[in-house]
Amino acid sequence: MMFSRLKALNQVGKCMNCHSIKTARPHQTFRSSTRPTEKNGHKRPPRPTTSPKPRRPIPFLTHLKEIKHPDDALALFHEYQQMGFRHDYPSYSALIYKFARSRHFEAVETLLDHIRDNNMRCQEKLFVALIQHYGKFNLPQKAIDLFHRITSFNCTRTLQSLNFLLNVLVENDRLADAKEIFNSSSRMGFRPNSVSFNIIIKGHTEKGEWEQACQAFEEMLEREVQPTAVTYNCLIGFLCRRGDLDKARALFEDMTRKGKHANAVTYALLMECLCSAGKYNEARKMMFDMEYRGCKPRLVNFGVLMSDLGRRGKIAEAESLLAEMKRRRFKPDVVTYNILINYLCREGRASEAYKVFVKMQVEGCVPNAATYRMMVDGFCKVGNFEKGLRVLNAMLTSNHCPRLETFCCLFFGLCERGKLSDACFVLEEMEKREMRFHLEGWESLINGSCSGDAGTTEILRELMLIDK
């Protein structure tokens, strides 16, 4: 891994040294002509204007989308350069995205340095995307550093990049850093908006800091920034998670009195709190009453009710609610189907869950990784490892990857059934993804497979120690 990164960096440096950036493009020229006239001297009516022709796709960007490995992407970049293709901002930004998604941040920095040194005009969305990638891979300090460097890249920094940075810091448990940057935003020429305050409030509520969240809310009002439904949802959600239904309802009514319209998420939070308190019927009534308050129910509201029914083992009622959704012309999404599949599998009803799994696809709903994982785990739970393997095949074909626990469960189950060829296939797929069994897993396999042969068991134990 380290060698490939060094190789990529060397190639990037080589490309940068031998290539001079030219961002100017030739201007298009248009012929100007006078409008022809009729014989009697009257002008003809103007012809209808045609919409401009769509831009031709850039061949390099089209080919780059088909490449997965970043080293191959860099080789393609160099190949186009040798053919005389002039790489400009779109090429560099696309290559940077490719490296960032693959965690090749050293190469990203090299490309950014080249863009800055050549004074290439950049768009802020490039830096926003990189800030998000740094956050995704738990590199919040790099996100902070990049934010402070944006203005050195011939790019105007706006409140948008500030808000994305604040969100990355909160999501990476760096609330103190987020507040420090938030408090210094005016010195940077920014006036925080409702999104900025919402992120800080969310950070406090996620850490259980109710008083600090209320202080941020009061500051928001003092600075004449209008709260939104999201603001109230952060506060109501905290109270609901704490089980304080009365305070959550009071805040909801205060929100309504001040002319702030609750959305479907607001109602879903209150409904979930009601369900947790054992008040399912009241939660159901709230969903059907919300329309009278001018808020149309969404899938999230049905999902709350279905989840509560599933938790209490009332699968038939959950299925009836799904049918009711369809009658009311709500199209269930993958999350809705996953709720039903999950609770069916938990109850050991994998065959029924599989029928739902097939039906959702017939109706045009594409399963996600969670859907496949639940189905494989569900079949493993009831000992139907052959069907679990079939679903695993479909999962891999759809470019989804199971968790290590799912692989292990399926592998050991197939071994116990004597399906060694299928078990080897699972092992090979794990190897492709660099996934390994834990030592305890191998010991379990040895004890189950070689319990009657002490000599074989001892040899395999020694092999494990060598591998370790």
d(CA 73, CA 65): 9
Q: How many domains does the chain have?
A: 2
pLDDT reported for residue 49: 55
269 compared with 67, residue with greater pLDDT: 269
pLDDT reported for residue 23: 37
> What is the number of alpha carbons within 13 Å of residue 220 lying toward its C-beta?
21
For residue 254, being part of any structural domain is answered with no
CB within 8 Å of 124: residues ≥ 6 apart: 150, 155, 156, 157, 158, 160, 161
pLDDT reported for residue 56: 63
Lowest mean pLDDT among 176-185, 245-254, 446-455: 446-455
Tokens representing 401 are: 């990857």
Dump pLDDT digits (tens) for 50-82.
555 556 667 777 777 777 777 777 788 877 777
Dump pLDDT digits (tens) for 390-449.
999 999 999 998 888 899 899 889 888 888 888 889 888 888 888 876 655 555 555 555
Q: Classify burial at 6, counting beta carbons within 10 Å of its beta carbon; exposed 0-12, middle 13-18, buried 19 or more.
A: exposed
Given 355, 386, 402, which residue is the final one in a domain? 402
Residue 462 has pLDDT above 70, yes or no: no
Q: Do 397 and 446 reside in the same domain of the chain?
A: no
Q: Do 392 and 451 reside in the same domain of the chain?
A: no
Q: Do 429 and 442 reside in the same domain of the chain?
A: yes
For residue 463, being part of any structural domain is answered with yes
Q: Do 415 and 432 reside in the same domain of the chain?
A: yes
For residue 194, being part of any structural domain is answered with no
- Whether 127 and 147 have beta carbons less than 8 Å apart is answered as yes
For the chain, how many residues are written?
Answer: 468
Given 387, 402, 417, which residue is the final one in a domain? 402
Q: Do 337 and 363 reside in the same domain of the chain?
A: yes
For residue 453, being part of any structural domain is answered with yes
Residue 2 has pLDDT above 50, yes or no: no
Q: Do 382 and 411 reside in the same domain of the chain?
A: no
pLDDT reported for residue 229: 95
- Whether 153 and 115 have beta carbons less than 8 Å apart is answered as yes
433 compared with 43, residue with greater pLDDT: 433
pLDDT reported for residue 461: 55
pLDDT reported for residue 288: 86
3 compared with 132, residue with greater pLDDT: 132
- Whether 105 and 130 have beta carbons less than 8 Å apart is answered as no
For residue 444, being part of any structural domain is answered with yes
Angle between helices 334-346 and 369-381 in degrees, nearest 10: 10
Mean residue pLDDT of the chain comes to 84
> How distant is the alpha carbon of residue 46 from its chain centre?
50
Q: Do 337 and 395 reside in the same domain of the chain?
A: yes
Lowest mean pLDDT among 1-10, 130-139, 159-168: 1-10
Given 380, 402, 424, which residue is the final one in a domain? 402
pLDDT reported for residue 84: 77
For residue 134, being part of any structural domain is answered with no
Residue 301 has pLDDT above 70, yes or no: yes
For residue 136, being part of any structural domain is answered with no
Tokens representing 123 are: 């768009």
Query: How confident is the model over 31-44, as a mean pLDDT?
Result: 44
Dump pLDDT digits (tens) for 125-151.
999 999 999 999 999 999 999 999 999
Residue 16 has pLDDT above 80, yes or no: no
For residue 152, being part of any structural domain is answered with no
d(CA 417, CA 404): 20
pLDDT reported for residue 216: 97
Q: Do 374 and 436 reside in the same domain of the chain?
A: no
pLDDT reported for residue 336: 97
Nearest alpha carbon to residue 339 among 311, 378, 376, 380: 311
Domain region containing 353: 332-402
Q: Do 389 and 339 reside in the same domain of the chain?
A: yes
Q: Do 423 and 441 reside in the same domain of the chain?
A: yes
Q: Do 337 and 398 reside in the same domain of the chain?
A: yes
Q: Do 393 and 413 reside in the same domain of the chain?
A: no
